[in-house]
Amino acid sequence: MLGYQKVLAHLRRNKREHLKLLQRLVAQPSISAQNEGVRECAELLVNIMEGLGIPAQTYETEGHPVVYGEIGEGDFTVLFYGHYDVQPPEPLEAWDSPPFKPTVRKGRLYGRGTGDNKGQLLSHLLAVHSYLQVLGEIPIKIKFVFEGEEESGSPYLADFVSEHKELLQADLAYTSDGPLHESGAPAVYYGVRGMLGLEISLETASWDNHSGNKGGVIPNAAWELVKILSSMKDENGRVRVAGFYEQVREPSTKDLELIENLEYHPWQIAKNFGVKKIEMEKEDFYRRLTLEPTMSINGLTSGYQGKGTKTIIPARASAKLDCRLVADQDPEMVFAAIKHHVEKMNPDAEVVMQGYMHPSRTDPALPVSEKILKAAQTASGKKPVALPAMGGSLPDYVWTKILGVPSIIVPYANADEANHAPNENLDLECFYQGIEISARAMYELSKK
Ligand SMILES: [Zn+2]
């Protein structure tokens, strides 16, 4: 404990240095979607890690390189995962300061990648650095995997993990990405929902026809598509595709206990979501958001939407959809079920898959879970909000399914970090708190 207190004191004395390092990392663009500066950023990150006393190197993949580092000895091994690539900064004119000129305003650092994810991955590195500075060693063994294309859907992370299973073997995977709970309390997630993207399109004629001269005798692509879509969900939001729920895992007692312990203010949530009201009980709300799959229409296209009227029968219609999947749904099986359903409704409709990510879950009853909760609570002074899974998606399955390791997600950024948007920012208090959570987690995990 004394050692840890010294580490903490060191962290608090060196905030200015920590901020400087973050600014250096953010100033290097690393836009994976546009292949801009990614390799340079990987090299800079290796450089920064070695400067902090952490041996590191890049590993080539078919896409952008992975930065890997390893340090420490001990019975327990943690693998920290993060990503050094960022989203495109456009529209540039919407930024109050240039995205790659990190600028402090009112206690926040503004710049692309400050919260997502450079500030968060740096937190782990700075925690390690303080242990090295103060004690000369780390109480556990630590591995770092920093990916360069998370913002492009992590296309080669699974391959990298499959090819380096021995190198990456660990007792726990730990990811800090995304925001704290809206209340300001830390959030702890034991999994993520998966994702399946698809497009349904339909052509009922070779061209748009006159709705009077041909109206009533030929099919209308817009109506046909609407029929297909409305057959896919009932009025309670249940998906009506046969087999869709077949592989959904029953929630464990512990999963439901986590939900039971959460606070629930539906009016506040409705306000945060920009909707009039949320009309469901707490358990139903959180089960639907974390433990059940869903299907969303992301966009619809057909016919004429311009000024005035255009009396046509549209020849073509299409819709993009995504499904958020939960353990143990297999995206390919879900896709096959949807394709079957759509083709049964209308054999002319075409269904095309647009990529997927597997869901992932870790048992919240594992002993490491208590240690992480304790670290988050002690470092923040607030009781963490623990959920069985995130509503969103991360490539968490590479740890739980490919590597076979439990995985916990502990985000460090402020709830209004504006990630993926202009004026992305990281509240500096969240940055420093994140470093303390990482340092405390290392201490808790080293205890028997
Ligand atoms: Zn992101």
Q: Given a cut of 90, is residue 2 above it in pLDDT?
A: no
- Ligand 1 centroid – CA 9 distance (Å): 32
- Ligand 1 centroid – CA 227 distance (Å): 35
Per-residue pLDDT averaged across 374-391, rounded?
A: 96
User: What pLDDT is attached to residue 350?
Assistant: 98
- Ligand 1 centroid – CA 86 distance (Å): 7
Three-point CA angle 325, 331, 332, nearest 5°: 160
Task: Kindly state whether residues 77 and 209 are assigned to the same domain.
Answer: no
- 59 inside domain: yes
- Ligand 1 centroid – CA 113 distance (Å): 8
- Ligand 1 centroid – CA 74 distance (Å): 32
237: left (phi over 0), alpha (psi -120 to 50) or beta: left
Task: Kindly state whether residues 236 and 188 are assigned to the same domain.
Answer: no
Task: Kindly state whether residues 166 and 312 are assigned to the same domain.
Answer: no
Per-residue pLDDT averaged across 232-248, rounded?
A: 96
In what helix (H) or strand (E) does residue 38 lie, and over which residues does it extend? helix 38-51
**Which residues, other chains included, contact 64 with Cβ-Cβ below 8 Å and sequence gap of 6+?**
32, 35, 38, 39, 42, 85, 147, 148, 149
Number of domains in the chain: 2
- Ligand 1 centroid – CA 83 distance (Å): 9
Average pLDDT, the chain: 96
- 43 inside domain: yes
Helix and strand totals (H; E) in the chain: 14, 19
Task: Kindly state whether residues 149 and 225 are assigned to the same domain.
Answer: no
Beta carbons of 199 and 351 less than 8 angstroms apart: yes
- Ligand 1 centroid – CA 394 distance (Å): 9
Say which DSSP state 233 is in: B
Beta carbons of 120 and 2 less than 8 angstroms apart: no
Q: Given a cut of 90, is residue 273 above it in pLDDT?
A: no
Domain assignment of residue 208, given as a range? 194-248+292-357
Task: Kindly state whether residues 214 and 303 are assigned to the same domain.
Answer: yes
Task: Kindly state whether residues 60 and 139 are assigned to the same domain.
Answer: yes
- Ligand 1 centroid – CA 32 distance (Å): 11
- Ligand 1 centroid – CA 100 distance (Å): 16
Q: Tokens in use for 325?
A: 């999947």
In what helix (H) or strand (E) does residue 425 lie, and over which residues does it extend? strand 425-427
Q: Given a cut of 90, is residue 428 above it in pLDDT?
A: yes
Question: Can you give the CATH number for the domain in which 313 is found?
Answer: 3.30.70.360
pLDDT 10s digits, 342-375:
999 999 999 999 999 999 999 999 999 999 999 9
Q: Tokens in use for 209?
A: 């026809």
Q: State the residue for tokens 């663009």.
A: 29
Boundary residue ending a domain (325, 341, 357): 357
User: What pLDDT is attached to residue 439?
Assistant: 98
User: What pLDDT is attached to residue 331?
Assistant: 97
Q: Given a cut of 80, is residue 305 above it in pLDDT?
A: yes
Q: Given a cut of 90, is residue 88 above it in pLDDT?
A: yes
CB atoms near residue 63 (< 10 Å): 20
- Ligand 1 centroid – CA 152 distance (Å): 9
- Ligand 1 centroid – CA 411 distance (Å): 12
- Ligand 1 centroid – CA 419 distance (Å): 6
Q: Given a cut of 90, is residue 448 above it in pLDDT?
A: no
Alpha-carbon span 52 to 69, nearest angstrom: 11
Task: Kindly state whether residues 323 and 175 are assigned to the same domain.
Answer: no
User: What pLDDT is attached to residue 161?
Assistant: 98
In what helix (H) or strand (E) does residue 353 lie, and over which residues does it extend? strand 350-357
- Ligand 1 centroid – CA 116 distance (Å): 5
The percentage of the chain sitting over the pLDDT mark of 90, rounded to a whole number, equals: 97
Task: Kindly state whether residues 142 and 204 are assigned to the same domain.
Answer: no
Alpha-carbon span 148 to 32, nearest angstrom: 7
Boundary residue ending a domain (308, 327, 357): 357
pLDDT 10s digits, 128-158:
999 999 999 999 999 999 999 999 989 999 9
- Ligand 1 centroid – CA 183 distance (Å): 21
Q: Given a cut of 80, is residue 18 above it in pLDDT?
A: yes
- Which residue from 95, 29, 97, 96 is spatially nearest to 64, judged by alpha carbons? 29
Alpha-carbon span 277 to 266, nearest angstrom: 7
- Ligand 1 centroid – CA 420 distance (Å): 6
- Ligand 1 centroid – CA 274 distance (Å): 22
- Ligand 1 centroid – CA 421 distance (Å): 10
Q: Are strands 172-175 and 407-409 parallel, antiparallel or unpaired?
A: parallel
- Which residue from 47, 56, 53 is spatially nearest to 143, judged by alpha carbons? 56
Task: Kindly state whether residues 208 and 322 are assigned to the same domain.
Answer: yes
- Ligand 1 centroid – CA 426 distance (Å): 13
**Which residues, other chains included, contact 218 with Cβ-Cβ below 8 Å and sequence gap of 6+?**
204, 205, 209, 313
User: What pLDDT is attached to residue 261?
Assistant: 94
Q: What distance lies between CA 339 and its chain's CA centroid?
A: 27
- Ligand 1 centroid – CA 247 distance (Å): 28
Task: Kindly state whether residues 184 and 240 are assigned to the same domain.
Answer: no
User: What pLDDT is attached to residue 272?
Assistant: 83
- Ligand 1 centroid – CA 25 distance (Å): 16
Task: Kindly state whether residues 65 and 126 are assigned to the same domain.
Answer: yes
Q: What is the DSSP string of 302-346?
A: ES--SSS---EE-SEEEEEEEEEE-TT--HHHHHHHHHHHHHHH-
- Ligand 1 centroid – CA 81 distance (Å): 13
- 259 inside domain: no
Alpha-carbon span 350 to 228, nearest angstrom: 11
Q: Tokens in use for 354?
A: 């647009």
pLDDT 10s digits, 183-237:
899 999 999 999 999 999 999 999 999 999 999 999 999 999 999 999 999 999 9
Per-state percent for the chain, helix, strand, coil, to nearest 5? 40, 20, 40
- Ligand 1 centroid – CA 359 distance (Å): 17
Q: Tokens in use for 262?
A: 């959460």
Alpha-carbon span 44 to 57, nearest angstrom: 11
Task: Kindly state whether residues 306 and 417 are assigned to the same domain.
Answer: no
* Sign of the torsion formed by the C-alpha atoms of 126, 72, 85 and 195: negative
- Ligand 1 centroid – CA 88 distance (Å): 10
Reduced to 3 states (helix: H, G, I; strand: E, B; else coil), residue 122 is helix
Alpha-carbon span 251 to 363, nearest angstrom: 10
- Ligand 1 centroid – CA 102 distance (Å): 18
- Upper half-sphere CA count for residue 335 (Cβ side, 13 Å): 20
Q: What distance lies between CA 219 and its chain's CA centroid?
A: 42
- Ligand 1 centroid – CA 117 distance (Å): 7
- Ligand 1 centroid – CA 409 distance (Å): 14
Question: Can you give the CATH number for the domain in which 147 is found?
Answer: 3.40.630.10
- Ligand 1 centroid – CA 20 distance (Å): 22
- 268 inside domain: no
DSSP lists the bridge partners of residue 105 as: 108
Alpha-carbon span 437 to 8, nearest angstrom: 10
